């Protein structure tokens, strides 16, 4: 399947190997967003209705996310890139004081800043796994996890080494001690297969700017397990709650509505939404990119990317240079 025509930015390069920094926006994403902006400009029916726009946009982008992650749509919602989703999720779950968080010494600085701040707020101990020649080993992680561990939080694909973490084993180790596994998947989702329920992780957050082909858009995708949805206690806004009468459009027209009344949280991952109107423009752009990824198929994308990385590794070694990490990185 040839999709080069969908990426006019490729004309500026002989070869592009920097998607780990910024992916190309496909024309499908441009069309989705332009169609939506045209719809807003014309101010057509439903332009001011979250009920209508949720059906027309949110349900469709989350359906594409469902295809990519092989999960239920109810376990998905959107985020603004990666850090905002991680922050929103973490602030919805309150650890006990003096618990600990496990992370890794080569994480992207936005994650380390977030965890340091979160740890200070809740008086948590940060236990940072040290790499060995750029690589992480399960035995080193297992030594630091105990019954007082709140969560293992880190990248499923490391941004410096490219190591693909063994999420299934990380989940086993964490869950044996009652800890959560929260994954920064910005270098993973759209690049390699990631099925959260198969891996047993509790949350996956990935900004769209890299392998999800939404550079500088501000989009992102978040998966939350059923257990974590139930545990989460976010700050309530109106639109992460259930409408008292089925649809919000009907509620707004009720003279007897009580803005100070009691509302129940949504029972799906959108319980973690902002609480105000969803970012529909970001959603349309992500929708158009996910369509391309799903049309190609993540299994095919993974094979291509892994083979390409192997060729690059062979060329590097052939030049007498060294690579960090294990020799069996393809199987990591």
Q: Which secondary-structure segment (H or E) carries 101? A: strand 100-104
Report yes or no: 240 and 232 within 8 Å, Cβ to Cβ: no
Task: Give CA–CA dist 34/53, Å, rounded.
Answer: 15
CATH of the domain at 66: 3.40.640.10
Task: Give CA–CA dist 247/281, Å, rounded.
Answer: 22
β partners of residue 224: 203
Task: Give CA–CA dist 82/138, Å, rounded.
Answer: 25
The predicted pLDDT at position 224 comes to 98
Tell me the residue ranges of DSSP E strands in 111-249. Answer: 125-129, 149-155, 180-184, 203-207, 220-224
Say what percent of the chain tops pLDDT 70.
98
Is residue 319 in a domain?
A: yes
Average pLDDT over residues 114-140: 95
Say what percent of the chain tops pLDDT 90.
84
Is residue 112 in a domain?
A: yes
Is residue 331 in a domain?
A: no
Q: Write down the pTM of the prediction.
A: 0.93
214 to 194, 239, 288: CA distances (angstroms): 18, 25, 9
Report yes or no: 138 and 169 within 8 Å, Cβ to Cβ: yes
Beta strand 220-224 pairing with 76-78: antiparallel
Is residue 151 in a domain?
A: yes
Burial of residue 109 (CB within 10 Å: 0-12, 13-18, 19+) is: exposed
Total domains, the chain? 1
Is residue 69 in a domain?
A: yes
Instruction: List all residues 6 or more positions away from 315 whose beta carbon is below 8 Å from its beta carbon.
Output: none
pLDDT at 330 over 80: no
Could you tell me which residue, 45 or 189, shows the higher pLDDT?
A: 189
User: pLDDT tens digits, residue range 40-98?
Assistant: 999 988 888 999 999 999 999 999 999 999 999 999 999 999 999 999 999 999 999 88
User: pLDDT tens digits, residue range 240-251?
Assistant: 999 988 888 888
Is residue 273 in a domain?
A: yes
∠ at Cα 282 (159, 209), nearest 5°?
A: 15
Beta strand 125-129 pairing with 180-184: unpaired
Is residue 155 in a domain?
A: yes
Task: Give CA–CA dist 278/257, Å, rounded.
Answer: 22
pLDDT at 331 over 70: no
Which structure tokens are listed for 285?
A: 């752009």
Is residue 329 in a domain?
A: no
User: pLDDT tens digits, residue range 166-176?
Assistant: 999 999 999 99
pLDDT, mean over the chain = 94
pLDDT at 328 over 60: no
Sheet containing strand 149-155, strands side by side: 76-78, 220-224, 203-207, 180-184, 149-155, 100-104, 125-129
Burial of residue 273 (CB within 10 Å: 0-12, 13-18, 19+) is: buried
∠ at Cα 252 (250, 254), nearest 5°?
A: 75
Domain that holds residue 182: 1-254+263-324
The predicted pLDDT at position 323 comes to 82
Burial of residue 60 (CB within 10 Å: 0-12, 13-18, 19+) is: middle
């Amino acid at each position: 399947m040839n999709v080069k025509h969908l990426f006019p930015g490729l004309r500026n390069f002989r070869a592009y190997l920097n998607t780990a920094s910024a992916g190309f926006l496909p024309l499908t994403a441009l069309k989705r967003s332009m169609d939506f902006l045209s719809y807003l400009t014309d101010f057509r029916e439903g332009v001011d209705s979250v009920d209508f726009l949720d059906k027309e946009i949110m349900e469709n982008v989350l359906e594409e996310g469902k295809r990519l992650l092989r999960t239920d749509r109810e376990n998905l919602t959107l985020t603004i890139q990666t850090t905002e989703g991680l922050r929103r999720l973490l602030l919805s779950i309150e650890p006990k004081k003096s618990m600990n968080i496990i992370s890794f010494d080569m994480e992207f600085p936005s994650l380390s800043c977030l965890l340091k701040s979160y740890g200070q707020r809740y008086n948590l101990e940060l236990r940072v796994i040290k790499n060995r020649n750029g690589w992480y080993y399960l035995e080193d992680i297992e030594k630091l996890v105990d019954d007082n561990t709140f969560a293992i939080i880190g990248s499923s694909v490391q941004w410096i080494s490219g190591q693909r973490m063994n999420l299934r084993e990380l989940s086993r180790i964490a869950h044996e001690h009652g800890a959560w596994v929260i994954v920064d998947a910005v270098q993973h989702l759209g690049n390699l297969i990631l099925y959260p329920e198969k891996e047993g992780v509790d949350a996956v957050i990935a900004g769209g700017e890299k392998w999800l082909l939404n550079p500088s858009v501000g989009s992102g995708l978040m998966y939350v397990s059923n257990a974590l949805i139930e545990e989460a206690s976010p700050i309530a806004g109106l639109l992460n709650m259930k409408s008292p009468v089925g649809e919000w459009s009907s509620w707004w027209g009720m003279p007897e509505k009580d803005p100070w009344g009691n509302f129940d949280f949504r029972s799906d991952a959108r319980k973690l939404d902002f609480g105000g109107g969803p970012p529909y423009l970001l959603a349309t752009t992500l929708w158009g990119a996910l369509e391309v990824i799903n049309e190609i198929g993540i299994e095919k994308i993974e094979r291509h990317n892994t083979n390409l990385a192997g060729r690059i590794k062979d060329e590097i070694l052939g030049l007498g240079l060294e690579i960090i990490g294990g020799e069996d990185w393809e199987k990591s």
